[in-house]
Amino acid sequence: RIISFLTYGAQIRFLGESFIPVYFDSTYDITRTARYALLEGGTVPGYTGWMTSLGTNVLDGAIIFNISLDGPFGALDTDTNNYLNYPG
């Protein structure tokens, strides 16, 4: 932490073929069958990317705000027909 209420982070990500960084999220139990079918039906080549985050907390961590942004190094692939490759 730079300042007591400011949190930050940065990552370089080496993602393998058809890897979904947030596959296990808060909706996993509801959508796992559909996600697995999408994962089996399409492939996205692996890539190297980045992720950064910035956040803050107030009231000794009782309220936390955090924002993250990620993307690949280089140009985005604009093929949005594949769920695993949706830019944005």
| Long-range CB contacts for residues 14-19, cutoff 8 Å, separation at least 24 | 14/46, 14/48, 15/46, 15/47, 15/48, 15/49, 16/46, 17/43, 17/44, 17/45, 17/46, 18/42, 18/43, 18/44, 18/84, 19/44, 19/46
Say if 86 falls within a structural domain: no
Say if 43 falls within a structural domain: yes
Say if 73 falls within a structural domain: yes
Say if 88 falls within a structural domain: no
User: What's this model's pTM, rounded to 2 decimal places?
Assistant: 0.56
Domain that holds residue 21: 6-81
Say if 21 falls within a structural domain: yes
Say if 11 falls within a structural domain: yes
Q: What total number of domains does the chain contain?
A: 1
Say if 1 falls within a structural domain: no
Tens digit of each residue's pLDDT (9 = 90 or more) over 1-51 = 567 778 889 999 887 777 776 777 777 788 778 777 777 766 667 778 888
Say if 32 falls within a structural domain: yes
